[in-house]
């Protein structure tokens, strides 16, 4: 347990007298260390360091970075000025990476569990072992599956990744012979991609041309704090504010809302109503973009509340189905109708819609997780994104853009290395139930094309479709990051043999049999990621800029290679033979060890970026070393309006009536010999018939008693994806999330509700939901919408480290939001529902 | 890149200051005396403008400052004032970064009995740890609460000897040793350039922002300025009519903290943190 002096003086002075005493003793025994000279013989402060390029994956902005290294030590971080995406800007979380790489609580050697019992309250009693022992044990377990023709009982769980991921995630899993590579994607933001895909055919996140825009509506997006391209957007937000109006739709006053001109504190789950009313108003006011959408043939605006329109009266240009959308959904969705649903004044809805419409096409409707990672969020994703179609900002200057083209290449095919056992194994159904009637997971139009991450826990628990006997997880912490996390406690406990590749002993590690210490992605690893903003895409590399202090290996490359070697020793060499195909493109050399393999694989993947002979576009380099030293490749600038009329939808147009979605739903229904209406019912949607193919309003689906407060979960500007709570700077600066307090985890309640509940600031409270409970501190705050309770995700670790947990392995610091959020889904995308999904009861502790 | 005024400083003075500073540094390493660089900032009146419209309240300046100056936990040379005012649905979250104002008429200097707190080149309000007796008069006299007393000693967290998991994880002290850091694994030795031995300040004395004097003498901007991702902090010389700080101050009503006290702070704030546009109105009775 680590208590800061702030905590000690603030409220625990007497209680912790013993701790203080110990600390003082410890403090006084410290001799000031004032060495004047480094090992070099020169004064330390005269030693010149070097800025070395790498990549920060603290969030999914994936900024290119430089680390200042002095005498082998990393001491500072800044943005890599060579990146056209993020430039020199660095958000606060980037600096915190220093406290991650030098975190004393990093696992420094492989460990083995000695307590055979597994559970939340079972100390695993880890003991250190050698890499050889760890790898031998893992290889034996995999060989046992192969011997018994049970390779489908192998499971790979992936959390955050670099694009080296396929080596361990896809290739290794398939060659062993399992269908079960389960990624984290559906707890990330898959529902956010749903809207853009079924309107414009792009299953992807977007970039926003904020320097040329005149109006920005943010739907639960908080780009000054969290996802995506935080460093870039914060670096230019002041310039954007000089030109643009910003309206933030969010039930809590976010970091971006604090600087906006309009805050629309919508009732959770009612975003779809708001978006539909805005669309209605834009049409009634005649503010749609004629160049993109087209016009009435006679030029007379016939959009009037309650009136059906003839499709033949309107001629569309680059869109499809506007009048259908109006007739099916929009005609009655007035601002007054939405005011009753959303709890927002009709005049504000009208004002924002008109402001946005008038600013078009240089206006942005910016959709993030909040409105869409909900049980019925898919249609809010469509509705919010369709506003871009109405005003013609799609692919336009000052609007919403997709990613630029890049030229990395995939790893060699694994096909010829799949033996009979593997080929039989991969034919089994996946453990997450994707593609079943109730889990369409329509990634890019394909039934079961996406993952249902969080449902894998139920698959494991129910042995449905089969039991899992061997599991490996890396850079994931599903026991913390998935909703209704206790299901993962049970599921992970049930797996007879599991391995966790991790930097810290996290909640997920707690249930592992073998722990493999991973190096830190930003300082100690070869890899690369792709990211886009500012009209560019960059490919930036993770590089080993310092020598690790401990006996750690790279999760995605070195460890699978080492496992492959051990499997080969046991007579199964297919994986190793496959990996030996990753030759160095410069020399043609075959990798002979894990280090060479990691490097050659990266050189192969990025070959076309750095080899002048293979040049395709964007930045040009003289060769590998030139690229490595620069650290990042930038694409060509964005080609505006190139996709108008050639979108990847069924009609090639921007679809307000989605023929693309209609086809996807029909195929899924057909697969199960059911109707589309049956699919919608199974997925807990209200829509039937034609409504299923247009953006429309759905009543939010929530758990918990009606008299509870709706729980509002959100991200911290200091979160390094739930991995930074063990950093001192995280706790010290926690109040930089508006409303939060340093060294604490507060649930923010509007004073109106607090008075009713008899709660005051500083009270210890318990939040109870139908599926769990947590304890934290109450904070009265006017930035919370009455009827809701807002609490930041990130605290509540009961493992991970001495700072993150109040008592390691036992007592959390604050509470984990996922303990009280029920596991339910936006099923059309497979996403976990995090928002507008539960009402909680508050009791004083 | 966009740090044009930083480049100005460095272009103008880097060779001059840098070479001399380097020589002096090596000399001092031999003699063990302080590395007193020939200052490139003498005659200047250094000041900072903070553009609150650009500021997003992210705290990167605070972390960067702690990083650069090896500032211990729960002490902040670069700090902030933040609060939420107003009532739902019109609350306002305000954020204002703060630091030592390097006042022209610094009350902390007046009250210091030993001369530890003094005005230095560039009109910086400077503290010499060697002369400090820890009487804390400066803290009493400073109206801004930006001077800190080192009560706790050095980086309590990093002096811990106990690992979380026996043989499975390290102790904090072991990390620093293995990384060859000093107290901190990411210890920044460059902090000592202007005053060797004070990279981490001893217990029982005060400490505060020095405008990163150790960087200025090398022609580098204060690290909070360099690290601000929004370029909300602009640094320069008030004596130079063409400096960026003077240019920006000419465009906006600026304000300083507690101006009525007559301390003449040299940290200026322009524009508003909150965008605050509204439809015109006369209000109502």
**pLDDT per position as a tens digit, A103-161:** 999 999 999 999 999 999 999 999 999 999 999 999 999 999 999 999 999 999 999 99
Q: What would the pLDDT profile of A485-512 be if each residue is shown by its tens digit?
A: 999 999 999 999 999 999 999 999 999 9
Q: What would the pLDDT profile of B83-139 be if each residue is shown by its tens digit?
A: 999 999 999 999 999 999 999 999 999 989 999 999 999 999 999 999 999 999 999
For chain A, the domains span: 1-44, 111-186+429-512+554-613, 206-402, 709-844
Read off the pLDDT band of A91 (50, 70, 90). Answer: very high
8 Å CB contact between A482 and A457? yes
- Predicted confidence (pLDDT) at residue A41 exceeds the cutoff of 90: no
Q: Which of residues 85-124 of B touch A (CB under 8 A)?
A: 85-89, 91-93, 95
Asked if CATH classification 3.40.50.10490 holds for the domain at A111-186+429-512+554-613, the reply, yes or no, is no
CA atoms lying within 13 Å on the CB side of residue A818: 28
Chain A hits for B248, Cβ within 8 Å = none
Tell me whether residues A43 and B196 touch, CB distance under 8 A. yes
Q: Which of residues 233-272 of B touch A (CB under 8 A)?
A: none
- Residue B156 contacts A, CB cutoff 8 Å: yes
Tell me whether residues B156 and A224 touch, CB distance under 8 A. no
- Cβ-based burial of A667 (10 A; exposed 0-12, middle 13-18, buried ≥19): middle
- Residue A9 contacts B, CB cutoff 8 Å: no
Q: List C-alpha distances in Å: A769 to A293, A773, A780, A837.
A: 46, 6, 20, 11
- Predicted confidence (pLDDT) at residue B5 exceeds the cutoff of 70: no
Q: Which helix (H) or strand (E) holds B5?
A: helix B4-31
Q: Mean per-residue pLDDT for B234-242? A: 98
Chain B hits for A351, Cβ within 8 Å = 279
CB under 8 A, 24+ apart: contacts of A562-571: A562/A131, A562/A135, A562/A594, A563/A135, A563/A138, A563/A139, A563/A142, A563/A172, A564/A172, A565/A135, A566/A135, A566/A136, A566/A138, A566/A139, A567/A139, A567/A142, A567/A143, A569/A139, A570/A139, A570/A140, A570/A143
What is the model's pLDDT at position A9? Answer: 55
Taking each helix axis as running N to C, give the angle between helix A335-342 and helix A346-359, from 0 to 180 degrees, rounded to the nearest 10. 120
Residue among A46, A96, A784 whose CB faces B26 most closely:
A46
Q: List C-alpha distances in Å: A657 to A651, A691, A694.
A: 10, 9, 5
- Optimal mutation site among A40, A46, A801, interface B, most CBs of chain B within 10 A: A46
Q: What would the pLDDT profile of A732-748 be if each residue is shown by its tens digit?
A: 999 999 999 999 999 99
Q: Which of residues 120-149 of B touch A (CB under 8 A)?
A: none
Chain B hits for A128, Cβ within 8 Å = 167-168
Q: Is A665 helix (H, G, I), strand (E, B) or coil?
A: helix
Q: Which of residues 199-258 of A touch B (CB under 8 A)?
A: 224-225, 231, 234-235, 237-238, 241-242, 245-246, 253, 255, 258
Q: Which of residues 418-457 of A touch B (CB under 8 A)?
A: none
- Predicted confidence (pLDDT) at residue B25 exceeds the cutoff of 60: no
What residues pair up with A653 in beta bridges, in sequence order?
none
Q: What would the pLDDT profile of B53-75 be if each residue is shown by its tens digit?
A: 999 999 999 999 999 999 999 89
Retrieve residue B12's tokens: 């103008």
- Predicted confidence (pLDDT) at residue B31 exceeds the cutoff of 60: no
Q: What would the pLDDT profile of A789-834 be if each residue is shown by its tens digit?
A: 999 999 999 999 999 999 999 999 999 999 999 999 999 999 999 9
Q: What would the pLDDT profile of B195-225 be if each residue is shown by its tens digit?
A: 999 999 999 999 999 999 999 999 999 999 9
What is the model's pLDDT at position A835? Answer: 97
What is the model's pLDDT at position A6? Answer: 67
Phi and psi torsions of B174, nearest 5°: -65, -40
Can A111-186+429-512+554-613 and A709-844 be said to share one CATH topology? no
Retrieve residue A844's tokens: 């004083």
Retrieve residue A417's tokens: 């290395």
Retrieve residue A53's tokens: 């390029």
Q: Which helix (H) or strand (E) holds B149?
A: strand B148-149
- Optimal mutation site among A4, A73, A239, A746, interface B, most CBs of chain B within 10 A: A73
Tell me whether residues A104 and B193 touch, CB distance under 8 A. no
What residues pair up with A473 in beta bridges, in sequence order?
A157, A500
The CATH code that applies to domain A206-402 is 3.40.228.10
> With pLDDT > 70 as the criterion, what percentage of chain A qualifies?
95
Retrieve residue A323's tokens: 């009048």
Class of domain B40-147+208-270: alpha beta
DSSP state of A257: G
What is the model's pLDDT at position B152? Answer: 77
Read off the pLDDT band of A1 (50, 70, 90). Answer: low
Q: List C-alpha distances in Å: A314 to A56, A280, A317, A333, A639.
A: 49, 16, 10, 20, 29
- Predicted confidence (pLDDT) at residue B76 exceeds the cutoff of 70: yes
CA angle A691, A696, A702 (to 5 degrees): 110
Tell me whether residues B182 and A44 touch, CB distance under 8 A. yes
Task: Give this prediction's pTM.
Answer: 0.93
Retrieve residue A156's tokens: 């790979």
Give the residue from A812, A549, A836, A603 showing the smallest Cα distance to B175. Answer: A549
Phi and psi torsions of A436, nearest 5°: -65, 165
| Count of C-beta atoms within a 10 Å radius of residue A424 | 14
Q: Please state, in angstroms and rounded to a whole number, the distance separating the CA atoms of residues A647 and A665.
A: 20
Q: Please state, in angstroms and rounded to a whole number, the distance separating the CA atoms of residues A614 and A607.
A: 7
- Residue B185 contacts A, CB cutoff 8 Å: yes
Q: What is the mean pLDDT of chain A?
A: 95
Q: Is B20 helix (H, G, I), strand (E, B) or coil?
A: helix
Read off the pLDDT band of A32 (50, 70, 90). Answer: very low
- Predicted confidence (pLDDT) at residue A27 exceeds the cutoff of 90: no
- Predicted confidence (pLDDT) at residue A46 exceeds the cutoff of 70: yes
- Residue A394 contacts B, CB cutoff 8 Å: no
DSSP state of A722: T
Retrieve residue A485's tokens: 């996390």
Phi and psi torsions of A625, nearest 5°: -65, -35
- Predicted confidence (pLDDT) at residue A48 exceeds the cutoff of 90: no
Q: What would the pLDDT profile of A518-565 be if each residue is shown by its tens digit?
A: 999 999 999 999 999 999 999 999 999 999 999 999 999 999 999 999
For chain B, the domains span: 1-36+155-200, 40-147+208-270
Give the DSSP letter string of A574-633.
HHHHHHTT---TTT-PPP-SHHHHHHHHHHHHTHHHH-GGG--SSS--SSHHHHHHH-EE
8 Å CB contact between A518 and A547? no
CA atoms lying within 13 Å on the CB side of residue B114: 16
Tell me whether residues A261 and B60 touch, CB distance under 8 A. no
**Nearest-CA residue of chain B relative to A28?**
B153
DSSP state of A397: T
What is the model's pLDDT at position A47? Answer: 80
Q: Please state, in angstroms and rounded to a whole number, the distance separating the CA atoms of residues A630 and A81.
A: 9
Buried b (16+ CB within 10 A) or exposed e, A502-524: bbbbbbbbbbbbbbbbbbbbbbb
Chain A hits for B71, Cβ within 8 Å = none
Asked if CATH classification 2.40.40.20 holds for the domain at A709-844, the reply, yes or no, is yes
Work out how many CB contacts closer than 8 A connect A with B: 262
- Cβ-based burial of B135 (10 A; exposed 0-12, middle 13-18, buried ≥19): middle
Tell me whether residues A237 and B153 touch, CB distance under 8 A. no
What is the model's pLDDT at position A42? Answer: 67
Read off the pLDDT band of B276 (50, 70, 90). Answer: confident
Which residues contact residue B194 at a Cβ distance below 8 angstroms, ignoring those fewer than 6 apart? B34, B35, B36, B37, B210, B213, B214, B217
- Optimal mutation site among A258, A345, A352, A509, interface B, most CBs of chain B within 10 A: A258
């Amino acid at each position: 347990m680590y208590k800061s002096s702030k905590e000690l003086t603030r409220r625990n002075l007497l209680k912790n007298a013993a701790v203080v005493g110990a600390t003082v003793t410890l403090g006084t025994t410290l001799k000031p260390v004032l060495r004047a000279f480094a090992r070099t013989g020169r004064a330390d402060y005269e030693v010149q360091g070097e800025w070395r390029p790498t990549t920060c994956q603290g969030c999914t902005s994936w900024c290119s970075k430089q680390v200042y290294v002095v005498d082998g030590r990393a001491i500072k971080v800044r943005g890599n000025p060579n990146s056209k995406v993020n430039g020199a800007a660095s958000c606060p979380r980037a600096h915190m990476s220093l406290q991650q790489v030098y975190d004393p609580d990093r696992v420094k050697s492989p460990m083995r569990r000695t307590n055979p019992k597994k559970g939340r309250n079972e100390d695993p009693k880890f003991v250190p072992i050698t890499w050889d022992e760890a790898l031998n044990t893992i290889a034996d377990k995999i060989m046992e599956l192969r011997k018994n023709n049970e390779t489908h009982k192998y499971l790979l769980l992936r959390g955050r990744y670099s694009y080296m991921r396929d080596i361990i995630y896809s290739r290794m899993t398939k060659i062993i012979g399992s269908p079960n590579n389960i990624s984290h994607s559906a707890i990330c933001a898959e529902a956010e991609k749903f809207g853009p895909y079924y309107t414009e055919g792009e299953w992807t996140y977007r970039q926003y041309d904020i320097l040329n825009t005149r109006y920005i509506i943010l739907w639960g997006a908080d780009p000054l704090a969290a996802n995506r391209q935080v460093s870039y957007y914060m670096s230019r937000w002041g310039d954007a504010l000089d030109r643009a109006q910003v309206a933030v739709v969010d039930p809590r006053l976010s970091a971006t809302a604090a600087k906006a001109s309009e805050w629309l504190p919508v009732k959770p789950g009612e975003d779809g109503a708001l978006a539909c009313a805005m669309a209605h108003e834009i049409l009634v006011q005649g503010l749609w973009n004629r160049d993109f959408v087209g016009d009435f043939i006679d030029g007379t605006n016939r959009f009037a509340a309650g009136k059906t329109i003839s499709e033949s009266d309107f001629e569309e240009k680059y869109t499809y189905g506007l009048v259908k959308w109006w007739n099916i959904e929009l005609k009655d969705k007035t601002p007054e109708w939405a005011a009753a649903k959303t709890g927002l004044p009709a005049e504000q809805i009208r004002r924002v819609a008109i402001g946005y419409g008038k600013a078009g096409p240089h206006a942005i409707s910016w959709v993030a997780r909040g409105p869409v990672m909900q049980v019925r969020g898919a249609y809010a994703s469509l509705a919010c994104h369709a506003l871009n179609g109405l005003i013609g900002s799609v692919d336009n200057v000052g609007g919403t853009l997709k990613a630029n083209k890049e030229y990395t290449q995939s790893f060699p095919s694994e096909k010829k290395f799949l033996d009979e056992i593997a080929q039989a194994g991969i034919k089994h159904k996946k453990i997450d139930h994707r593609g079943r009637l109730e889990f369409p997971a329509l990634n890019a139009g394909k039934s079961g094309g996406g993952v249902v991450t969080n449902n894998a826990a139920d698959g494991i628990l129910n042995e449905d479709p089969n039991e899992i006997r061997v599991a490996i997880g890396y850079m994931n912490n599903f026991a913390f990051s998935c909703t209704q996390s206790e299901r993962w406690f049970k599921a992970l406990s049930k797996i007879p043999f599991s391995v966790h590749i991790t930097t810290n002993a996290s909640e997920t590690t707690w249930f592992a049999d073998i722990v493999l210490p991973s190096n830190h992605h930003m300082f100690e690893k070869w890899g690369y990621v792709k990211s886009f903003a500012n009209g560019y895409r960059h490919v930036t590399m993770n590089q080993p800029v310092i020598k690790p202090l401990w006996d750690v290996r790279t999760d995605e490359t070195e460890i699978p290679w080492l496992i492959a070697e051990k499997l080969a020793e046991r007579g199964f060499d297919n994986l190793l033979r496959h990996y030996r195909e990753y030759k160095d493109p410069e020399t043609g050399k075959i990798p002979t060890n894990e280090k060479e393999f990691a490097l050659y694989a990266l050189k192969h993947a990025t070959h076309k970026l750095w080899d002048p002979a293979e040049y395709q576009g964007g930045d040009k380099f003289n060769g590998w070393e030139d690229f490595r030293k620069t650290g990042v490749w930038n694409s060509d600038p964005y080609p505006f309006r190139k996709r108008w009329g050639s979108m990847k939808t069924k009609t090639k147009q921007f679809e307000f009536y989605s023929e693309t979605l209609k086809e996807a739903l029909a195929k899924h229904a057909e697969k199960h010999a059911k109707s589309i209406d049956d699919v919608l019912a199974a997925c807990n949607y209200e829509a039937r018939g034609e409504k299923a193919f247009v953006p429309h309003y759905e009543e939010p689906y929530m758990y918990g008693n009606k008299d509870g407060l709706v729980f509002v979960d959100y991200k911290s500007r200091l979160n390094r994806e739930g991995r930074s709570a063990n950093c001192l700077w995280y706790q010290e600066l926690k109040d930089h999330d508006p409303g939060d307090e340093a060294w604490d985890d507060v649930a923010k309640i509007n004073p109106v509700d607090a008075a009713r509940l008899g709660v005051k600031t500083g009270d210890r409270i318990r939040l109870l939901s139908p599926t769990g409970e947590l304890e934290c501190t109450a904070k009265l705050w006017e930035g919370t919408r009455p009827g809701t309770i807002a609490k930041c995700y990130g605290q509540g670790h009961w493992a991970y480290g001495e700072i993150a947990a109040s008592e390691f392995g036992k007592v959390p610091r604050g509470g984990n939001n996922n303990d009280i959020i029920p596991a339910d889904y936006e099923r059309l995308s497979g996403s976990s529902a995090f928002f507008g999904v539960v009402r909680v009861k508050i009791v004083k502790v | 890149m966009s740090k044009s005024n930083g480049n100005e400083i460095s272009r103008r003075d880097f060779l001059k200051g840098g070479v001399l500073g380097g020589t002096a540094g090596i000399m001092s390493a031999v003699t063990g005396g302080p590395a007193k660089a020939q200052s490139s900032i003498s005659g200047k009146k250094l000041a900072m403008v903070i553009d609150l419209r650009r500021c997003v309240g992210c705290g990167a300046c605070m972390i960067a400052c702690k990083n650069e100056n090896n500032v211990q936990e729960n002490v902040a040379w670069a700090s902030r004032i933040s609060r939420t005012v107003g009532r739902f649905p019109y609350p306002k979250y305000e954020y204002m970064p703060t630091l030592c104002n390097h006042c022209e008429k610094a009350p902390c200097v007046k009250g210091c009995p030993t001369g530890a707190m003094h005005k230095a080149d560039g009109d910086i309000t400077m503290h010499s740890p060697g002369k400090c007796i820890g009487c804390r008069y400066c803290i009493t006299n400073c109206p801004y609460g930006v001077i800190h007393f080192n009560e706790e000693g050095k980086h309590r967290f990093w002096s811990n000897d106990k690992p979380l998991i026996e043989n499975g994880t390290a102790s904090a002290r072991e990390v620093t040793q293995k990384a060859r850091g000093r107290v901190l694994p990411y210890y920044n030795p460059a902090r000592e350039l202007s005053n060797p031995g004070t990279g981490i300040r001893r217990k029982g004395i005060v400490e505060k922002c020095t405008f990163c004097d150790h960087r200025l003498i090398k022609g580098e901007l204060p690290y909070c300025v360099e690290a601000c991702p929004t370029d909300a902090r602009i640094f320069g010389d008030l004596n130079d009519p063409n400096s960026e700080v003077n240019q920006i101050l000419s465009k906006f009503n600026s304000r300083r903290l507690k101006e009525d006290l007559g301390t003449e702070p040299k940290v200026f704030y322009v524009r508003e943190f909150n965008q605050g546009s509204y439809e015109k109105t006369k209000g109502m009775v």
